[in-house]
Amino acid sequence: MQNKPENIHPIFNTLLNRESKEKLLNQRAKVIWFTGLSGSGKSTIAKGLENELHLLGYLTMVLDGDNVRTGINNNLGFSEEDRKENIRRIAEVAKILLNSGVIAICCFVSPTEELRTIARNIIGKDDFVEVFVNTSIEECERRDVKGLYAKARKGEIKDFTGISAPFEAPANPDVDVKTNGRTVYETVREVVAHILPLIKCTNKNTEDQIVF
Ligand code: ADP
């Protein structure tokens, strides 16, 4: 049964604040939100980004589609309502990480402006860094990492983004990374270069440089 609002007493303003945690970690927290077709390279680039930031001394956490759907969102399907609830919960989790001073790296197809707006509104536009992994549908289908495109073509998966459901490219992403014809190394480097200035504290005394 849901609690009535009058029985809920948030304690947000008495908690240790985000700035104290960022200071402890010597970093500025952000939510890095990867959007793109299945197989575009979101998880691959996110892993590379996380490894690189870790080596440079940043605390990060990756939230990834399939992981989340086996855990906190394992009761959700792919109806429109469930897709929205999926994103809403993920954004709330990312916000908890943000308020802990952690750099949250989120990898979700999030195919529509509406879904990304839900996330952006929960997280706050100043902390939401949108990374569009911009890979053509032909290339994603050629890669077919999980065999999902083949199944979608056979009609075994309905409403599959890029085949039988639309993908709306973000109008104004913070980072637009094209992967066609490029190596993972190149694309990870490009994203790292965009993210570092956003998370670096001015007093960070070590010189950040890409080490891999
Ligand atoms: P997504 O998380 O978007 O579904 P994945 O990261 O799981 O996609 O899969 C992307 C696939 O594309 C991986 O097999 C990866 O090695 C390959 N790939 C090839 N070139 C690139 C590139 N430049 N950037 C990212 N991934 C690439």
pLDDT digit string, tens, across residues 6-44 = 888 877 777 889 999 999 999 999 999 999 999 999 999
26 touches ligand 1 (CB under 6 Å) = no
| Phi, psi angles (nearest 5°) of residue 142 | -65, -45
**Distance set, CA 6 to CA 2, 13, 14, 31 (Å):** 12, 18, 19, 31
C-alpha of residue 44 to centroid of ligand 1, in Å: 5
CATH topology of domain 24-199: Rossmann fold (3.40.50)
The pLDDT of residue 67 is: 86
Of 105-109, 111-115, 207-211, the one with minimum mean pLDDT is: 207-211
Amino acid identity at 109 = V
| Active site positions, annotated | 110
Instruction: Report how far residue 210's alpha carbon sits from residue 192's, in angstroms, rounded to the nearest whole number.
Output: 8
Q: Over the stretch 56-81, which tens digit does the pLDDT of each residue have?
A: 999 999 999 888 999 999 999 888 89
Listed by start position, the domains of the chain span 24-199
User: Per-residue b/e over 67-80, b at no fewer than 16 CB within 10 Å?
Assistant: ebbeeebeebeeee
Confidence of residue 95 (pLDDT cuts 50, 70, 90): very high
- Ligand 1 centroid to Cα of residue 45, in Å, is 7
In percent, the amount of the chain with pLDDT more than 90 equals: 82
Q: Output the average pLDDT for the chain.
A: 93
Strand partners, 35: 132
pLDDT of residue 13: 74
State mean pLDDT over 77-105.
95
